[in-house]
Structure 1
Amino acid sequence: MSARPSGFEDRLKAALLARLPEAAPATPARSFARRYGIPFAVGAATASVVAVMTLTGSIRTGSLPAGTPSRSASDAPEITRDPDGSLRFDPPRQAQVPALADRLKELGVRAVAVPLLPERQCKAVKGWVRGPQADPAAGLSRGDDGRTLKVNPKAVPPGHTLLVTWAYFQPWWEGKQGLAFGIVENEDVPYCSDDYLEAFLEAQRLGPPTPPPGVPATLSP
């Protein structure tokens, strides 16, 4: 029979734990909730659908890779200024995206065109998702005419950058592509965005996935 008093082990354990220093609280992971973006698929009905984009590469420069051809801001879509200071323009073609960013910078908006590069060339994965905005009117939005886009003068607060890039919207077999944007802190400006053109074209060639035998292609409401 043990000579230890009842509950001895529990009291000893409690005494030892009381002598240990408190563990430092874990450092919370940095939230990406302030990153947001809305795709604008040119001519698509889903232009207001929220996209979750994967931006990859060095996160401390928005400069173009070496060897990228120079461009002129005159190649950008025509930009007009509304009475409230908003900048309005037509949705750009893919080739116009870099010049659009240059022109927006000339007009006082800190903007960077994120170039598309093959996935293997973009190393460090960074993402951004749409999060709450201080002002619902801030950001890139549809114009009142439903056709043009506009940048509110409050879109890019100090210390932040407006990113513009070209995106291929899921499901790829539908062939929707167009301008996508996001606003991030300056130190999080990505070096490049993954270019999924080959997969995009292959998905269109193959078409929608065929459901297994006996499974209807669509579900009844």
Structure 2
Amino acid sequence: MTAFDAFKGRPMQRLTSSLWNSLMDALNALDSGVRDELLKRVKYEDLGSLPYDVVPDQDNARSLGKEDVRWSSVYAYSGDFTDSLTVQGKPVIKDGDPITVSDLGSDAVAKIVQAVESARRAFALVRWGVEVEPAWVFGSVVTAPPANTRLVEVSVPSGVLGLVYGVLLSAGEQNSFTLSCGNTSLLLFLPGAETKHAISPAPICVAQPETVVYVSNNRDGTSGVQYQAGLLYAEVEAPVGGG
């Protein structure tokens, strides 16, 4: 029995207004349902060129493609990502550093070094009346370093002082680090997967002759995660009688 069986007439049956109105209501409901269903259907040829915006029915609930079934290419003038953006399995660096989406690994470090070099030239670095020319010293990229790995280190020769003017940290995860400068140590922190640097017009720390300056990670690195560190370092002749 269908929804319209009730409207089938019988011999000598009188057609009343209530029966007629019920029939019209059923037809209107059917028409509305058909139109709603047709609106939900999109023809393949319609997807070739859309003259309107494509908007999901819910915020942050729909996906475009899947992890194992992806679009080949996406072309756009601009984009706005509220949460995060990952390229080649690595998060895009943010926080105002002069880095673009295409800069990953050594390219990102190189651009930061260039920006830091420009900032360094903006002020005179002088120690005891002697002009100082610090330069970046980088350690190699290390994957999953155990705790206390020296990511970068410099041995201070006899007769000079080692001056640290800046530190660069790059890691694919959160970790804390220690800058060891002879008898002095500073705790550094990287809050997430990113590359950060800090420089100062005055030495961050001064290492005595025949000591070692280095940066080490305080916690084991996760398998597959890369680390790198750098020091903006200079040397000056040690004053007679000590530093």
Q: TM tier, shorter chain?
A: under 0.3
Length-normalised TM-score, structure 1: 0.24
Higher normalized contact order (CA 8 Å, seq sep 6+, divided by chain length): 1
Structure (1 or 2) with the greater strand fraction: 2
Length-normalised TM-score, structure 2: 0.22
